[in-house]
Amino acid sequence: MRGPDGSTEREHLESVERQTGKRPPSLDGPPLPPDGEHVWRWFVALSGGRGGNGFGPNPIGWVDLAAWISLTGIIVRPAELEAIMAVDRAWMEVQSKPKT
């Protein structure tokens, strides 16, 4: 969310980092659970290939997941698929919020 000055909190923190050369701890999110790191990496890989519709990004679909699994040969458990889709829903929700 943008503040009254039009900047996000992240932009302010990144500015502090540039000016001081020190990374504010707030820029780093909480650590991922070791058992979930691979799911995050998978989500990032899938997200990098997502399409758009002219109004914004499309959600990751089941066809996208099936193609990615087929191309990579990665064996994905149902719970991991559900986790990827849950992360994508959260990502899409954040993307749909007004930027101003």
Strand partners of residue 57 = 52
Average model confidence (pLDDT) across the chain = 91
- Please give the backbone phi and psi of residue 8, each rounded to the nearest 5 degrees, phi first: -90, 165
In this prediction, residues 15-44 reach a mean pLDDT of: 92
In 3-state terms, what secondary structure has residue 57? strand
In this prediction, residues 8-32 reach a mean pLDDT of: 91
Q: Could you tell me the pLDDT band of residue 1, with boundaries at 50, 70 and 90? A: low
pTM for this prediction: 0.72
* pLDDT number for residue 29: 81
98 pLDDT above the threshold of 80: no
In this prediction, residues 67-82 reach a mean pLDDT of: 96
